[in-house]
């Protein structure tokens, strides 16, 4: 492995095998995840117990743990591995009643640490609030909704059912609804591809693959969310392929979601793409005004029932919100909650201009794009560890993303060429110039490159 680029660090690790300097790890988190992510999610991670091959970390709440695990786990592990190579997994313990946790100083006996099986079960838990009853139909999701319901009526009719669409459009909600509907009579397994991988790796390290295989293959309904996560991960694809085949063989129903169509899953084996396309493929589109208004009205109704008080928003305000939240239903609901909270506190009907005022910072956020952020987004986009992208290795799968990141840093930040070079593991400014030239040239003549660059720019603005 060529992950450790600083030889001194290696010697340091060998000499002091056991003790991580937790403050140092925190500093690395802050540097590599960026201030915002760090202070929102990672700041309170405490080191509870350190073993040679794994760490027990404490976080304040279940919610924070789930958030970290679902979004940052790979990277957190990667970062701690940098300081201690022998580490290969992380367990989380929830310190629910601790008010504040200062890094490294948490003393409590090691109670019930989530073990493999428990934690699979934990993540298998369906959310009772995401059901068919409160999923609102619109022209953008009608086919996906109907197909989901049909699957529940008659198993194996469409196998697999593959639902795809952009962020916040209701994929997880639908998958969860299917799970709820079927769980009474079937052995339902509901897991995100990321969690699947987490358990996969954990089982390999624990030499417990038999259990892992059994566990997933005994389900009669297997629901896997965000399958795009397997892109570029060969071992995981191999395991997924076999799980998939043995489930289909015994006529288990499989339901899959992704952010793109099967044919668009780059760096996924052809045989898997063909399996994924073997049943019914449906997409969820961007919601129209009509659907957005319906969702808002339903939400207002729910709140009125719940709090037994009026919460009137004028049609103008509703239209305003629908218009501003173009694509993402999750965002729409977030904005609506804010407006409703305000109007309840102040007990008044809001005008559109008051509404604008409340939401000013939501809509007019001037996004600051930093080199850090570009590096993170690009390495995520190409599914390569940040450390590899910044390393000295020159293989194409690393060099191209690196060049793209340099190109974007030049285009989207005010940093000078030498500054950018320094941020890329101390490279010379001529390397940056070369990268900018190469990517400019490629993006002019290569459609794939042009599309990738645009997608990455979208991600940078979105995040
Ligand atoms: P995705 O998995 O596609 O990113 P989610 O399923 O997490 O999106 O949906 C985001 C939020 O929007 C959730 O709170 C979900 O309940 C809500 N939502 C999405 N579509 C609908 C819909 N048609 N009706 C009601 N709520 C919806
Ligand atoms: Mg989702």
DSSP one-letter string for 57-97: EEES-HHHHHHHHHHTHHHHHHHHHHH-TT--EEEEEE-TT
Judged by DSSP in three states, 423 sits in helix
Which range is least confidently modeled, 28-37, 109-118, 177-186, 386-395? 109-118
Taking the CA atoms of residue 376, residue 379, residue 382 and residue 384 in that order, the dihedral angle to the nearest 10 degrees is -140
Identify which ligand lies nearest to the alpha carbon of 168.
1
> Which residue's alpha carbon is at the smallest distance from atom 20 of ligand 1?
170
Tally Cβ neighbours within 10 Å of residue 9.
13
Q: From the CA of 258, how far away is ligand 2's center (Å)? A: 8
Please name the residue whose Cα sits nearest to atom 12 of ligand 1. 330
Mean pLDDT of 126-147: 95
Query: Is 183 within 8 Å of 96 (Cβ atoms)?
Result: no
CA-proximal residue: ligand 1, atom 14 (nearest): 330
For residues 306-329, average pLDDT: 86
* pLDDT tier for residue 193 given thresholds of 50, 70 and 90: very high
- Is pLDDT at 209 greater than 80 in this prediction? yes
Residue 166: pLDDT band by 50, 70, 90 thresholds?
very high
Which DSSP symbol is given to 21?
A: -
**Is-contact 173 130, C-beta < 8 A?**
yes
Cis peptide before 220 (omega within 30 of 0): no
Q: What does the block give as tokens for 453?
A: 């660059």
pLDDT digits (tens, 9 = 90+) for 387-406: 999 999 999 999 999 999 99
Residue nearest to atom 9 of ligand 1 (CA): 170
Which tens digits make up the pLDDT trace of 218-246? 899 999 999 999 998 888 999 999 999 99
For the chain, how long is the longest CA-to-CA vector? 68
CA-nearest residue, atom 4 of ligand 1? 168
CA angle 258, 268, 179 (to 5 degrees): 30
Q: What pLDDT is stored for residue 17 in this prediction? A: 40
The torsion angles phi and psi of 449, rounded to 5 degrees, stand at -65, -45
- Higher-pLDDT residue of 114 and 308 is 308
CB atoms within 10 A of CB 197: 20
Please report the pLDDT score of residue 365 as a whole number: 52
Q: How far is the CA of 116 from the centre of ligand 2 (A)?
A: 23
User: What span, in angstroms and rounded, lies between the C-alpha atoms of 367 and 402?
Assistant: 22
Q: How far apart are the first and last CA of the chain?
A: 32
* pLDDT value, residue 110: 35
Please name the residue that has the structure tokens 């009205």. 297
Q: Under 8 Å CB-to-CB from 391, ≥6 apart: which residues?
A: 2, 3, 5, 398, 425
The closest of 192, 207, 190, 7 to 89, measured between CA atoms, is 207
List Cβ neighbours of 380 (8 Å cut-off, separation of 6 or more): none
Separation of alpha carbons 217 and 234, rounded Å: 20
- Cα 238 from Cα 196, distance rounded (Å): 13
Residue 101 has pLDDT above 70, yes or no: no
pLDDT in the model for residue 366: 53
For the packed helices 315-324 and 329-345, what is the interaxial angle rounded to 10 degrees? 140
Q: Which residues line ligand 1 (CB under 6 A)?
A: 130, 134-136, 141, 165, 167-173, 295, 329-330, 333
pLDDT for 274 beyond 90:
yes
Ligand 1 atom 13, closest CA: 330
Give CA–CA dist 345/141, Å, rounded. Answer: 34
CB 168 within 8 A of CB 331: yes
Distances in Å between the alpha carbon of 352 and those of 28, 301, 310, 315? Answer: 44, 20, 18, 10
> What are 24-74's pLDDT values in tens digits?
999 999 988 888 888 878 998 999 888 887 888 999 887 788 778 777 887
- Reported in sequence order, the residue ranges of 86-152 that DSSP labels E, i.e. its strands, are 89-94
Alpha-carbon separation of residue 3 from 119, 145, 148 (angstroms): 29, 45, 44
**Quick one: which ligand is closest to 227's CA?**
2
Could you tell me how many residues make up the chain?
Answer: 463
Contact yes or no for 255/223 (Cβ under 8 A): yes
Pocket test for ligand 1, best of 67, 167, 168, 295 (most atoms within 8 A of CB): 168
CB-based burial label for 249 (10 Å; 0-12, 13-18, 19+): exposed
Pocket test for ligand 1, best of 294, 330, 331 (most atoms within 8 A of CB): 330
Q: What is the pLDDT of residue 68?
A: 83
**Among all ligands shown, which has an atom nearest to the Cα of 164?**
1
Q: 272 alpha carbon to ligand 2 midpoint, in Å?
A: 21
Q: How many CB atoms lie under 10 A from the CB of residue 85?
A: 16
| Cα 163 to middle of ligand 2, angstroms | 11
Q: What mean pLDDT comes out for the span 15-19?
A: 45
Q: How far apart are CA 75 and CA 52, in angstroms?
A: 19
Ligand 2 center–CA 16 separation, angstroms:
42
DSSP-based three-state secondary structure for 356 = helix
Binned at pLDDT 50, 70 and 90, residue 197 comes out as confident
Q: Which residues pair with 90 in a beta bridge?
A: 55
Q: Which residue's alpha carbon is at the smallest distance from atom 19 of ligand 1?
A: 170
Q: In this prediction, what percent of the chain has a pLDDT beyond 70? A: 88
Whether the CB-CB separation of 183 and 126 falls below 8 Å is answered with yes
């Amino acid at each position: 492995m060529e992950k450790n680029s600083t030889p001194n660090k290696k010697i340091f690790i060998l000499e002091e095998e056991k003790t991580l300097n937790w403050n140092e790890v925190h500093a690395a988190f802050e540097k590599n995840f960026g201030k915002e992510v760090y202070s929102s999610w990672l700041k309170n991670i405490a080191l509870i117990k350190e073993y040679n091959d794994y760490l027990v970390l404490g976080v304040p709440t279940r919610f924070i743990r789930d958030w970290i695990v679902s979004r940052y786990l790979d990277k957190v592990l990667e970062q701690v591995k940098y300081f201690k190579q022998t580490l290969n997994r992380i367990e989380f313990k929830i310190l629910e009643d601790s008010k504040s946790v200062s890094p490294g100083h948490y003393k409590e006996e090691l109670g019930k640490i989530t073990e493999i099986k428990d934690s699979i079960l934990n993540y298998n838990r369906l959310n009772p609030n995401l059901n068919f009853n409160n999923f609102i139909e619109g022209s953008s999701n009608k086919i996906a909704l109907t197909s989901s319901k049909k699957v529940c009526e008659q198993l194996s009719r469409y196998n697999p059912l593959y639902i795809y669409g952009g962020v916040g459009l209701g994929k997880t909600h639908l998958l969860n609804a299917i799970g709820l509907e079927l769980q009474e009579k079937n052995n339902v397994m509901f897991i995100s591809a990321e969690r699947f991988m987490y358990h996969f790796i954990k089982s390999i390290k624990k030499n417990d693959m038999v259990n892992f295989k059994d566990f997933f293959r005994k389900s009669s309904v297997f629901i896997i969310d965000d399958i795009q996560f397997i892109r570029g991960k060969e071992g995981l694809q191999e395991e997924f392929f076999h799980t998939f085949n043995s489930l289909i063989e015994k006529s288990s129903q499989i339901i899959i979601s992704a952010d793109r169509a099967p044919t668009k899953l780059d760096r996924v084996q052809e045989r898997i793409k063909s399996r994924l396309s073997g049943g019914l493929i449906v997409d969820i589109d961007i919601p129209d005004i009509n659907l957005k208004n319906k969702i808002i009205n339903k939400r207002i109704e729910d709140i009125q029932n719940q709090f037994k008080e009026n919460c009137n928003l004028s049609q103008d305000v509703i239209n305003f919100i629908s218009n501003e939240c173009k694509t993402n239903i999750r965002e729409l609901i977030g904005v609506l909650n804010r407006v409703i909270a305000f109007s309840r506190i102040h007990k008044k009907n809001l005008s559109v201009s008051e509404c604008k005022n409340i939401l000013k910072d939501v809509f007019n956020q001037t996004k600051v794009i930093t080199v850090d952020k570009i590096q993170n987004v690009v390495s995520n986009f190409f599914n390569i560890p940040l450390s590899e992208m910044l390393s000295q290795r020159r293989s194409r799968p690393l060099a191209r993303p690196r060049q793209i990141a340099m190109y974007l840093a030049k285009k989207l930040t005010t940093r000078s060429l030498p500054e950018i070079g320094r941020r890329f593991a101390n490279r010379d400014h001529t390397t940056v110039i070369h990268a900018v030239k190469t990517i400019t040239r490629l993006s002019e003549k290569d459609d794939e490159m042009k599309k990738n660059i645009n997608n990455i720019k979208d991600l940078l603005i979105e995040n």
